[in-house]
Amino acid sequence: MDIAVLGAGAMGSVYGAHLATLAENKVTLIDIWPQHVEAINSQGLSINSPEGDQVYKNLTAVTSAQGLKAQDLVIVFVKATVTQEAMSQALNLVGPKTMVLTLQNGLGNIEKLCQVVEAKNVLGGINSYGSSIKGPGQVILRGRGETVFGEIDGPPSERLVNLKNLFDQAGLPASLTSNVQGRVWTKLISNIAINALCAIMGIKNGQLLNHPEAISLLEGAVSEAVAVGQAMSITFETDHPIQYAKKVIKNTAENVCSMLQDVRAKRPTEIAVINGAIVEAGLKHNIPTPINLVLTNLVKVIQQNYPA
Ligand code: PAF
């Protein structure tokens, strides 16, 4: 299979490297960070995981999709704030049968992809791996989580069953869902509970549970998000969203969440598609979201004032 990963940060690199272990796959990582691309091409991609260190060499990396042919699979892993822009600059990757799969954080990625490629090409899903970039060509994989995907509406078709097999064989055990939006919202619950709070407080995920103040904020933020989701007829994949969020926090206790990584690297965060998206949807559906508004505004001010 010809596979392109659009956005080879930590997550994109991990998925690309695993898929490249299967001889039948030709994997191209696309990322705008030239040093990362150069390191992958010259030394391979090194992943440090709880299982040990491994270098993946069967990969090609490029800084732009320009000149590449249409792929069988495009996995979108850019920051959710640039999904539409990145995809529209890579339309040459998409042919009539290309599957364009988003496994990104946040709300709205499916809808943004459908603005620039045909909806029949788009697949949605989530991943809950914890990883970070150590340096060019070097990724730390802290924990393996789930990979879940499906058709954007309706039950998984044959192409999804084949894709699941491919991921399973590549060491990325996957499951299929007929409720992609419910999955995306359920994953969002964990990002609502963790990301902004850890980014503002400068703490690892697990430390949230050491502080009653943080627990009350995360419970409040999650409850608001659930109320908004329910007003939008979202079927969550859990009956106990707060317990679910706390379980993710425990499972990823040692993670520096992606938003805190962004703040530390002085990058724009995904606040607008996480807590910000809840505030926006809450306004449309008349659901008050004061905690998410405060979190959104605080992170916005932080990211507007990164020291030079
Ligand atoms: O964004 C992240 O860091 C991850 O999605 C999660 C699940 C919050 C774990 O750190």
Select from 103, 148, 205, 263 the residue to mutate for testing ligand 1; criterion: most ligand atoms less than 8 Å from CB: 205
**Domain tally for the chain?**
2
Average model confidence (pLDDT) across the chain? 97
- The CB of 190 under 6 Å from ligand 1? The reply is yes
pLDDT above 90 (res 180): yes
Tokens coding 287: 């659901």
CB-count burial class (<10 Å; 0-12, 13-18, 19+) for 227: middle
Residues 9 and 86 in one domain: yes
pLDDT above 90 (res 188): yes
Q: What's the mean pLDDT in 189-215?
A: 98
Rounded Cα gap, residues 185 and 158, in angstroms: 25
Residues 144 and 287 in one domain: no
Tokens coding 91: 């339309």
Phi and psi of 25, rounded to 5°?
-100, 140
Question: Residue 79: pLDDT band by 50, 70, 90 thresholds?
Answer: very high
CA 270 vs. chain centroid, Å, equals: 10
pLDDT score of 251: 87
Q: Domain for residue 71, yes or no?
A: yes
Q: Atom 3, ligand 1: which residue's CA is nearest?
A: 257
Q: Domain for residue 23, yes or no?
A: yes
Q: Which domain CATH number covers 166?
A: 3.40.50.720
Question: Residue 130: pLDDT band by 50, 70, 90 thresholds?
Answer: confident
Which residues are the active-site residues?
Answer: 187
Q: Domain for residue 77, yes or no?
A: yes
Using the atom order of ligand 1, give the atom closest to the CA of residue 248: 7
pLDDT score of 256: 93
pLDDT above 90 (res 144): no
- The CB of 105 under 6 Å from ligand 1? The reply is yes
pLDDT above 90 (res 142): no
Domain end: 159, 178, 197, which one?
178
Q: Domain for residue 49, yes or no?
A: yes
Which domain, by its residues, includes 143? Answer: 2-178
Instruction: Find the 121 Cα to ligand 1 centroid distance in Å.
Output: 27
C-alpha radius of gyration, the chain, whole number: 19
pLDDT above 90 (res 289): yes
Evaluate the CA torsion angle 54, 26, 94, 149 in order and state its sign: negative
CB-count burial class (<10 Å; 0-12, 13-18, 19+) for 308: exposed
Q: Which domain CATH number covers 210?
A: 1.10.1040.10
pTM as predicted: 0.95
Residues 186 and 41 in one domain: no
What is the percent of the chain where pLDDT is above 90? 96
- Residue listed under structure tokens 């010259």: 42
Instruction: Find the 69 Cα to ligand 1 centroid distance in Å.
Output: 32
pLDDT above 90 (res 136): yes
Using the atom order of ligand 1, give the atom closest to the CA of residue 260: 3
Q: Domain for residue 308, yes or no?
A: no
Residues 194 and 108 in one domain: no
Q: Domain for residue 239, yes or no?
A: yes
Using the atom order of ligand 1, give the atom closest to the CA of residue 257: 3
**C-alpha atoms less than 13 angstroms from C-alpha of 65 in its C-beta half-sphere:** 22
Select from 146, 184, 194 the residue to mutate for testing ligand 1; criterion: most ligand atoms less than 8 Å from CB: 194
pLDDT score of 74: 98
Q: Atom 7, ligand 1: which residue's CA is nearest?
A: 128
Tokens coding 58: 């069967």
